[in-house]
Structure 1
Amino acid sequence: MSGDNVPTGFDRARFSSPFLDMAGPYYVRSDEDRIVVGTRIHKGQINHINVAHGGVLGTLADVALSLQVHEAERPRLPVATMNLNTNYLAAAKLGDWVEAYCLIDRMSKRTAYCSGRIVCGDAVLMTMSAVFAILRK
């Protein structure tokens, strides 16, 4: 999507699927030892009360948390979400740039535990945690 007014340091995400193409676009940047995922809230993501639908932030949470695990090792790790917990703290509005910050709290050979937050500027919109199955061959 052109016209997203993407902040400096973010590049268009290379991952893609029909669902993620519809839900995004997503942008990524490396920030020290973690990946930050961002997106601009657009008209198609606004609900009946004129804020971003909760599913938009929930999807961003899943995308960002899973990407953190996926990129943790080389070769990259295929993962599947086993559990995702979200706490909605504030709403995102049309045109807002939102960013997801995530950490791997614990990782074993088969499972990863992650947590993070989604922010818009200084406002925390969501906190989240997840458990991922690591699908090693």
Structure 2
Amino acid sequence: MATGAQVSDELASVPEGFEQLGEGLGYSDSLQPFYRRVDGDDVSFGLVVLEQHANLMGICHGGCLMTLADIAAATSINIRLPKPAGLPTINLGFDFVSPGRFGHWLQTRTHLVEVKRRFGFCAGVIEDGDKPVLRYSGTFYLPDHDGMWKGGDGDAALRRLAGGE
């Protein structure tokens, strides 16, 4: 790693029950390799912080953490809907609590999901073990039409994120 930061040569392992997501998910592919675990209405995402996720200080880049939180929040809402849909982010707030260290496993945990008629709300945390790295909360628009996609198979990508394929 060319960051100049001292890091451990040991990389965390991916916990049992997580499966690597395939590519073809648009911007989300920038997190690769990243993983998902689905248990009923609970979905969690995670990654081992590697060089492509790190900033020059050798810790997980804030943009990587925010992208992971956005995916986790939207998918946590989407998994509760009768039909998956693109959920435009209306607002997403973050509190950076501690660094995500190189080589460590970071995992999302959702602790609040509410689905209303036109909006979905979600709050959660990205953790390194039991230590919070990033807290997040978001509001998402729930569209009532199929006009969100510009070519491609967006429904299939959403089903892959939510564990339906």
TM-score w.r.t. structure 2 length?
0.74
Deviations 1:48-98, CA, capped at 9 Å, x for gaps: 212111111111100100111111122223211110000000001111111
Q: Which residue of 1 aligns with 2:116?
A: 108
Larger-gyration structure (1/2) = 2
The answer for the alignment partner of 2:51 in structure 1 is: 43
Aligned partner of 1:135 in structure 2 is: 143
Which residue, out of 114, 122, 125, partners 1:117? 125
Could you tell me how far apart the structure 1 residues matched to 2:103 and 2:126 are?
A: 15
Range with greater deviation from structure 2 (117-126 or 42-51):
42-51
Matches within 5 A, 1:68-87: 68-87=76-95
Q: Identity of counterpart residues, as a percentage?
A: 25
Specify the SS of the correspondent of 2:103: coil
Q: Which has the higher strand share?
A: 1
**Aligned residue type for 1:92:** G
How far apart are the structure 2 equivalents of 1:49 and 1:116?
Answer: 25
* Structure 2 gap ranges (5+): 1-10, 146-165
Question: Is contact 1:34-1:103 (8 Å) kept?
Answer: no
Q: Which residue of 1 aligns with 2:30?
A: 22
Structure 1: unaligned runs, 5 residues or longer: none
Change in 2 beyond 3 A, CA 1:100/1:24: same
Q: Given residue 95 of structure 1, which amino acid in structure 2 is its aligned partner?
A: G
SS of 2:88's equivalent in the other structure is strand
Is the contact between residue 121 and residue 139 of structure 2 (CA under 8 Å) also seen in structure 1? yes
Letter in 1 for 2:142: I
TM-score, L = length of structure 1: 0.88
Question: What SS does structure 1 have at the residue aligned with 2:102?
Answer: coil
2:105 to 84, 93, 97: 97
Indicate yes or no: 2:64 matched with 1:53: no
Letter in 2 for 1:38: G
Stretches of 4+ aligned residues off by more than 6 angstroms: none
